[in-house]
Amino acid sequence: MFQDAELVKILSTKFVPVAVDQHIHRQRKDDEGELFAKVLKQAGRGLDGYSQGVYLFTPDGKLLAFANTADAAGVRRLTEIALKKFDPKAPPIKLADLKGPPVLPLPPEGGLVLDVSAKVLGGYDPDDPKTKRYRESIGRDHLWLRKDEAAALAKGVLPASVQDRLVRYHLIDNTRGEPPMWRMDEVKKLEMTLKDGKLTGRIHLETKTSDRGYHADLFGVIEMKDGKVTRLDLLTKGDFWGEGNFARGAPKGRFPFAVAFSLADADCATSKVPPQAARGNVKNYLK
């Protein structure tokens, strides 16, 4: 829907766009959590289940329109419904200042944050308008490294924990939704070498039933200065196949797929968004 310029203009001028992690907001016990729960109830949803979607509501939590869709035409219809119901003459409500600890987990102190971008490079019918958004979609995530892992990389050492986290939680096709992560027994081959600032390797991931997998080569560059990593660029590219329950619409058979990693801008607000795999248990993700 963000590829539709007219819709973007409507959302940015007629509404106040807010993106939240519904998994976390369902568990919040503060004012924001109560507001989210109120909106969900009007949409016929509760706090104990799936609550993704597009919700258009007033500042005091009155639901105007709702649907679980990312389709531009569908979201545009929602905005039309919401604007017809909205009363611009209604008195504004007074919002209390929110206080308390950060809601989202913070990146590990002294560690590193990497931007992760995934892209399906082929396999779709280029003339099929239904797959246009899939062909142009880019999956985004963050990879977190602990302080001791960052220090090891600065010394030219590639920790096994970094290799495992990178492969199991980030070599996934998240271009269409939330994919399943890889289990330990699904890592059939993990060969990664760091020598003279060059990263090379070969990856083979595959489920027990062989319905999903990824064969890929890996190449990267790491630069260090004054005991710190100043550059980390990494790319995996190969053949992917299969899909997950919440990431349907993959190309048939095997298709070219790549995942790129690079140091994130620490001053950018989006760099604070935690990894998808860390949202439920940060300690388990960073172990």
Map out the domains of the chain as residue ranges: 5-85, 112-286
Percent of the chain with pLDDT over 70: 97
**Model confidence pLDDT, tens digit, residues 228-273:** 999 999 999 999 999 999 899 999 999 999 999 999 987 787 888 8
Residues 184 and 158: beta-carbon distance below 8 Å: no
- Token pair for residue 150? 């960052």
Q: With beta carbons less than 8 A apart as the criterion, state whether 52 and 45 touch.
A: no
The burial of 8, by beta-carbon neighbours within 10 Å (0-12 exposed, 13-18 middle, 19 or more buried), is given as middle
Q: How far apart are CA 233 and CA 222, in angstroms?
A: 7
Write down the mean pLDDT value for the chain.
91
234, 214, 250: which is closest to 122 by C-alpha?
250
Residue 96 has pLDDT above 80, yes or no: no
This prediction has a pTM of 0.80
Give the tens place of pLDDT for each residue, 201-236: 999 999 999 999 999 999 999 999 998 999 999 999
With CA atoms as reference, report the closest residue to 115 among 88, 147, 138: 138
